[in-house]
Amino acid sequence: MSNDPHSSLLRQQDAEVAAWLHREDKRQSTTLTLIASENHCSSAVRAACSSRITDKYAEGYPNRRYYGGCEVADGLEELARQRAMQLFAGAEEANVQPHSGTTANLAALVALAGSGGRIVGMALKAGGHLSHGHSKSHTGMLFDARQYGVDGSGRIDLDEVRRVAREHQPKVLIAGGSSYARNIDYRAFAEIAREVGAFLMADIAHPAGLMAAGVVPSPIGIADVVTMTTHKTLRGPRGGMILARKDCAKLINSSVFPGAQGGPLVQQIAGKAVAFGEALRPEFRAYQERVKDNAAWLAECLAGQGLDIVTGGTDNHIVLVDLRRVDVTGAAVEERALAAGLSVNKNAIPGDPRPPMVTSGLRLGTAAVTTRGFGKDEIAKVAEIIVGLVRGSDPERFRPVVQGLCERFPLP
Cβ neighbours for 67, distance < 8 A, ≥ 6 positions apart: 56, 57, 58, 59, 60
Q: Does 37 bind ligand DSN (CB under 6 A)?
A: yes
Q: Please state, in angstroms and rounded to a whole number, the distance separating the CA atoms of residues 311 and 309.
A: 6
| Residue of closest CB approach to ligand DSN | 37
Cβ neighbours around 172 below 10 Å, total: 26
Q: Which is nearer to ligand DSN, 36 or 161 (CB)?
A: 36
Q: Does 178 bind ligand DSN (CB under 6 A)?
A: yes
DSSP code string of 192-254? HHHHHTPEEEEE-TTTHHHHHTTSS---TTTSSEEEEESSSTT--SS-EEEEE-HHHHHHHHH
Nearest alpha carbon to residue 209 among 328, 97, 322, 292:
292
Least spacing, CB of residue 92 vs ligand DSN, in Å: 26
- CA angle (126, 128, 132) in 5-degree steps: 130
Q: Which is nearer to ligand DSN, 192 or 241 (CB)?
A: 241
Per-residue contact flags (x/-) with ligand DSN for residues 128 to 157, judged by CB under 6 A = -x----------------------------
Q: Which is nearer to ligand DSN, 129 or 372 (CB)?
A: 129
Least spacing, CB of residue 333 vs ligand DSN, in Å: 17
> Catalytic amino acids?
57, 59, 203, 229, 232, 238
Helices vs strands, H then E, count in the chain? 16, 15
Q: Please state, in angstroms and rounded to a whole number, the distance separating the CA atoms of residues 200 and 175.
A: 7
- H-assigned helices in 282-354: 282-304, 330-340
Question: 199-203 and 225-229: which strand pairing?
Answer: parallel
Least spacing, CB of residue 199 vs ligand DSN, in Å: 22
Per-residue contact flags (x/-) with ligand DSN for residues 48 to 87, judged by CB under 6 A = ----------------------------------------
Q: Which is nearer to ligand DSN, 7 or 343 (CB)?
A: 343
Per-residue contact flags (x/-) with ligand DSN for residues 81 to 120, judged by CB under 6 A = --------------------x-------------------
Contacts with ligand DSN by CB under 6 A: the residue count is 4
Interface residues with ligand DSN (CB under 6 A)? 37, 101, 129, 178
